[in-house]
């Protein structure tokens, strides 16, 4: 179903005109209200009125993750705090997170975008929607919650932290028809059902809306076969808006971007040059309706391409491909995102430890496991076994607390991690597949 026929079926000419008007409004807003953008635009000698066409967008500098971290907590806000009604943030495991703020209007638009995602996946007021994303400072749980309520579905905020056995009991007893989660949580669910020798028809699932981490077409087929549901891909990131930026329609041949709210570009990650539809590169978004936290040309680090042809569903918005990778070393682990540099900061916060480490990601059964191997400094080698165990437990507790998920810690001898012939340690070894 198309949630908002008028907007989502907009013709190209009208859409481009709407985008230009909204971009100009956004430029005026950030120039007046966000010191970072005022300085950036002045440095580039660009005034808001110089941007006269959508092609001029390319003249604007990019906004990076580092810019947003540096603005912690409120320096990128374009309205006074009294106009902000909701605050979310990225996990920012150890370092400073990115804080985003929504005005009342922002919340209403975000809710509509999330409702479009669910309507496109055929979710209706007759559905019982179980949301198994994190309900915390991140946007996943709340964004989908608002969207599902807007549609009139019955929502159960089961949350990612709820054990999988309990998720199954809720699903069965509440007659859940729609599961919203990461694909890896869905995989754990499939595994648990098999362990419990329960047929998928024991549940009432018919639709899965999965996102929050990159996943493959093979995994879609697997999840559909094992859970007896139709699986849809949804894309969002907290910095730009959370869920509702792009998602699949019934054709499931790419994700429509809500282009009346976001301008999408694909750029070469190395040169920043714009790429043509069909060419793979980094996704860049400009928000054009946000009041609280507007962003110009935000580099997401996600790799995808624009799909050149229009979609057979009749929506006027262009599509992006699945996310195929990252430009950086961001790790997706059990619904959380972590940079190795954040783990490094945590290690260095413990007296005596150094930042010689390696992260190993494995899939054990259907469960992801992160093992952090840490080299012991030479002077700690003489410590008693008990002291070393205490040190390991301290690190374990700290890391699990930050991640909200189980991890393993292995303390190894000095230089154990350096590879033969090279001093450089490969920080992340990801052995998971799909």
Q: What angle do CA 268, 273, 274 make, to 5 degrees?
A: 85
CA 122 to CA 112: how far, in whole Å? 15
Give least dist CB 314 to Zn ion, A: 7
**Positive or negative, the Cα torsion across 98, 104, 109, 113?**
positive
408-412/325-326 β-pairing: unpaired
CA 123 to CA 146: how far, in whole Å? 13
Nearer to Zn ion, 189 or 313 (CB): 313
Nearer to Zn ion, 114 or 313 (CB): 313
Give least dist CB 240 to Zn ion, A: 21
Give least dist CB 32 to Zn ion, A: 37
**251 is a site residue for Zn ion (CB under 5 A):** yes
Strands annotated E in 119-261? 128-131, 154-156, 178-181, 207-210, 230-237, 242-248, 255-257
Interacting stretch for Zn ion, rule CB under 5 A, among 138-146, 198-206, 222-230, 241-249? Answer: 241-249
**246 is a site residue for Zn ion (CB under 5 A):** no
Nearer to Zn ion, 8 or 127 (CB): 8
Contacts of residue 192, Cβ cutoff 8 Å, sequence gap at least 6 = 164, 165, 168, 366
Give least dist CB 328 to Zn ion, A: 30
CA 53 to CA 56: how far, in whole Å? 5
CA 282 to CA 46: how far, in whole Å? 24
3 state DSSP class of 187: helix
Structure-block tokens of residue 308? 């050149």
CA 239 to CA 156: how far, in whole Å? 25
**307 is a site residue for Zn ion (CB under 5 A):** no
**234 is a site residue for Zn ion (CB under 5 A):** no
CA 48 to CA 23: how far, in whole Å? 9
Nearer to Zn ion, 246 or 267 (CB): 246
How far from 263 is each of 47, 86, 384, 430, CA to CA, in Å?
20, 23, 59, 33
Give least dist CB 202 to Zn ion, A: 32
Give least dist CB 256 to Zn ion, A: 6
Alpha-carbon dihedral 181, 186, 189, 191, rounded to 10 degrees: -160
- Report 117-136 residues binding Zn ion (CB under 5 A): none
Give least dist CB 116 to Zn ion, A: 11
**241 is a site residue for Zn ion (CB under 5 A):** no
- Report 315-334 residues binding Zn ion (CB under 5 A): 315
Nearer to Zn ion, 1 or 396 (CB): 1
**311 is a site residue for Zn ion (CB under 5 A):** yes
Nearer to Zn ion, 121 or 283 (CB): 121
CA 33 to CA 57: how far, in whole Å? 19
Nearer to Zn ion, 109 or 256 (CB): 256
Nearer to Zn ion, 71 or 120 (CB): 120
Give least dist CB 139 to Zn ion, A: 24
Give least dist CB 146 to Zn ion, A: 23
Nearer to Zn ion, 232 or 298 (CB): 232
Strands annotated E in 194-248? 207-210, 230-237, 242-248
What phi and psi, each to the nearest 5 degrees, are found at residue 43? -60, -40
- What letter would DSSP give residue 63? B
Structure-block tokens of residue 256? 């429509």
Nearer to Zn ion, 251 or 355 (CB): 251
**249 is a site residue for Zn ion (CB under 5 A):** yes
How many amino acids of this chain bind Zn ion (CB under 5 A)? Answer: 5
Interacting stretch for Zn ion, rule CB under 5 A, among 38-46, 77-85, 107-115, 303-311? Answer: 303-311
Selected from 51, 117, 313, 374, the binder of Zn ion by CB under 5 A is 313
Q: Which strand (E) or helix (H) includes residue 358?
A: strand 357-364
- Report 361-390 residues binding Zn ion (CB under 5 A): none
Footprint of Zn ion (CB under 5 A): 249, 251, 311, 313, 315
């Amino acid at each position: 179903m198309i949630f908002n026929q008028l907007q989502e079926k907009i013709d190209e000419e009208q859409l481009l005109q709407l985008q230009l008007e909204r971009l100009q409004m956004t430029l005026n807003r950030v120039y007046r209200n966000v010191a970072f953008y005022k300085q950036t635009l002045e440095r580039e000698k660009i005034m808001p009125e110089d941007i006269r066409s959508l092609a001029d967008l390319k003249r604007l500098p990019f906004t990076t993750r580092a810019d947003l971290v540096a603005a912690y907590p409120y320096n990128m806000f374009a309205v006074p705090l009294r106009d902000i009604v909701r605050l979310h943030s990225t996990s920012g495991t150890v370092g400073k997170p990115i804080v985003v703020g929504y005005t009342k209007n922002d919340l209403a638009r975000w809710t509509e975008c999330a409702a479009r995602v669910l309507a496109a996946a055929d979710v209706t007021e007759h559905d019982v929607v179980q949301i198994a994303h994190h309900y915390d400072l991140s946007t996943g749980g709340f964004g989908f919650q608002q969207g599902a309520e807007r549609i009139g579905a019955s929502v159960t905020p089961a949350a990612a932290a709820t054990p999988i056995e309990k998720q199954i009991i809720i699903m069965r007893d509440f007659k859940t028809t729609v599961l919203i989660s990461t694909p890896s949580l869905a995989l754990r669910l499939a595994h648990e059902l098999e362990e419990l020798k329960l047929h998928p028809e024991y549940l009432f699932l018919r639709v899965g809306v999965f996102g929050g981490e990159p996943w493959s077409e093979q995994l879609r087929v697997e999840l559909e076969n094992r859970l007896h549901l139709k699986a849809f891909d949804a894309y969002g990131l907290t910095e730009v808006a959370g869920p509702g930026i792009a998602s699949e329609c019934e054709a499931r041949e790419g994700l429509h971007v809500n282009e009346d709210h976001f301008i999408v570009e694909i750029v070469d990650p190395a040169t920043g040059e714009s790429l043509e539809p069909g060419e793979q590169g980094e996704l860049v978004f400009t928000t054009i309706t946000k009041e609280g936290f507007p962003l110009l040309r935000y580099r997401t680090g996600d790799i995808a391409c624009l799909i050149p042809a229009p979609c057979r569903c009749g929506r006027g918005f262009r599509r992006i491909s699945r996310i195929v990778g990252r430009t950086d070393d961001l790790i997706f682990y059990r619904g959380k995102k972590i940079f190795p540099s954040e783990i490094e900061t945590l290690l260095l916060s413990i007296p005596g430890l150094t930042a010689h480490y390696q992260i190993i990601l494995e899939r054990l059964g259907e469960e992801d496991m992160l093992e952090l191997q840490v080299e012991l400094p030479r002077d700690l080698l003489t410590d008693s076994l008990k002291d070393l165990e205490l040190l390991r437990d301290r690190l374990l507790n700290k890391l699990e607390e930050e991640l909200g998920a189980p991890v393993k810690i292995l303390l190894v001898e000095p230089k154990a991690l350096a590879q033969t012939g090279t001093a450089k340690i490969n920080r992340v070894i990801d052995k998971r597949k799909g």
